[in-house]
Chain A
Amino acid sequence: ENWRGWNIHVEGYPNTVAMDKFAELLEEKTDGGITLQMFHGGTLGSQPDAIEQVRLGGLEIGNFNLGPIGPIAPEANVVSLPFIFKDPAHMFRVMNGEGGEKIAAGMEAKGLVPLAWYDSGARSFYNGAKPINSPEDVAGMKVRVMNNDLYSGMISQLGGNPSPMAFAEVYQSLKTGVVDGAENNWPSYESTGHFEVAGYYSLSEHLIIPECVCINADVYNGLDEAQQTALKEAAMESAELQRELWAEREAKSREMVEAAGVVTNEIANKLPFQEAMVPVYETYLEANPDLRPLVELIQSTE
Chain B
Amino acid sequence: MTTDPDAGGKPRDFMRVVDALLDSVAMICRVITGLSLVGLTVIFGWLVYGRYVLNATPTWVEQVALLLVMVIAFIGAAVGVHEHTHLAVTGFRTLAPPWLRTVFVVVTDLLMAGFGLLMLIYGARLTAFKWDSMIPLIHVPEGLRSLPLTIGGGLITVFALAHLLRLALGRDLRSDIIS
A71, CB-defined interface residue at 8 Å: yes
Within 8 A of A (CB), among B123-144: 129-130, 133-137, 142
Besides A71-B142, A162-B57, 8 more A-B contacts (Cβ < 8 Å) are A52-B129, A71-B136, A147-B63, A147-B136, A161-B56, A161-B57, A163-B57, A164-B62
Provided the pairs A71-B142, A142-B51 are in contact, do residues A162 and B134 lie with their beta carbons within 8 angstroms?
no
Contact A140 B136 (CB under 8 A): no
Residues of A within 8 A of B129 (CB): 52, 56
Once the chains bind, are B57 and A142 in contact (CB under 8 Å)? yes
Q: Within 8 Å CB of A162, what residues of B?
A: 57, 59
Report the bound CA distance from A164 to B56 in whole Å. 12
Q: Are B59 and A164 in contact (CB under 8 A)?
A: yes
B55 is an interface residue with CB less than 8 A from chain A: yes
A1 to B: closest C-beta gap in Å: 25
A141 CB, nearest partner CB in chain B, Å: 10
B interface footprint on A135-157 (CB within 8 Å = 1, 0 otherwise): 00000101000011100100000
A selection of 16 A-B contacts at a CB cut-off of 8 Å is: A140-B55, A142-B51, A142-B57, A147-B62, A147-B63, A147-B136, A152-B59, A161-B55, A161-B57, A162-B57, A162-B59, A163-B51, A164-B57, A164-B62, A165-B62, A166-B62
Which of A56, A161, A178 is most buried by chain B, counting CB atoms within 10 A of its CB?
A161
Task: Pick the 9 closest A-B CB pairs, nearest first.
Answer: A163-B57, A147-B136, A71-B133, A148-B136, A72-B133, A152-B59, A164-B59, A164-B62, A161-B55
Q: How far, in whole Å, are A71 and B57 apart by their CA atoms in the complex?
A: 22
Cβ of B134 and Cβ of A71 under 8 Å apart? yes
- Report the Cα distance A147→B61, complex, angstroms: 12
Q: Which A residues are in CB contact (< 8 Å) with B63?
A: 147
A244 to B108, CA, bound (A): 57
- Where the two chains meet, the residues of B that have a C-beta atom closer than 8 Å to any C-beta of A are 51, 55-57, 59, 62-63, 129-130, 133-137, 142
A52 to B145, CA, bound (A): 14
A163 to B60, CA, bound (A): 10
Name A161's contact: one of B51, B62, B134, B136 (CB within 8 Å). Answer: B51
The residue in chain B whose Cβ has the minimal distance to the Cβ of A165 is B62
Within 8 A of B (CB), among A45-92: 52, 56, 71-72
Docked-complex contact A149 and B55, CB < 8 angstroms: no
Residues of A near B142 (CB, < 8 A) are 71
Q: Residue on B with the closest CB to A55?
A: B129
Could you tell me the distance between the alpha carbons of A161 and B56 in the complex, rounded to whole angstroms?
6
Residue ID in chain A nearest B142 by CB atoms = A71
Q: In the assembly, what is the distance between CA of A72 and CA of B134, in Å?
A: 8
Min CB–CB distance B73 → chain A (angstroms): 17
- A178 to B62 CA separation, bound complex (whole angstroms): 15
Closest to A72 in B: B133
Among B51, B57, B130: residue with most chain A CB under 10 A:
B57
Nearest-neighbour CB distance to chain A for B74, whole angstroms, equals 18
Closest to B55 in A: A161
Tell me the minimal C-beta distance from A275 to chain B in angstroms: 23
Which residues from B are CB-within-8-Å of A148? 136-137
Inter-chain contacts of B134 with A (CB < 8 A): 71
CA distance A152 to B63 in the complex (A): 14
Cβ B51 vs Cβ A152 within 8 A = no
Q: Which residues of B contact A142 (CB under 8 A)?
A: 51, 55, 57
Distance in Å from the Cβ of A203 to the closest Cβ of chain B? 26
Least distance between B153 CB and chain A CB atoms (Å): 19
CA distance in complex: A149, B63 (Å): 12
A52 and B127 CA atoms in complex are apart in Å by 13
Chain B nearest CB, measured from A109 CB (Å): 12
Assess whether B137 is in contact with A164, with CB atoms less than 8 Å apart: yes
A178 partner residues in chain B, CB cutoff 8 A: 51
Chain A residue nearest to B125 in the complex (CB) = A56
CA distance A127 to B62 in the complex (A): 22
Q: Mark A149-188 against chain B: 1 for CB-CB distance below 8 A, else 0.
A: 1001000000001111110000000000010000000000
The smallest beta-carbon distance between A227 and chain B, in angstroms, is: 28
Report the Cα distance A148→B136, complex, angstroms: 5
**B133 close to A152 (CB less than 8 A):** no
Collect the chain B residues with CB atoms within 8 Å of residue A147's CB.
62-63, 136-137
Chain A nearest Cβ from B59, distance in angstroms: 5
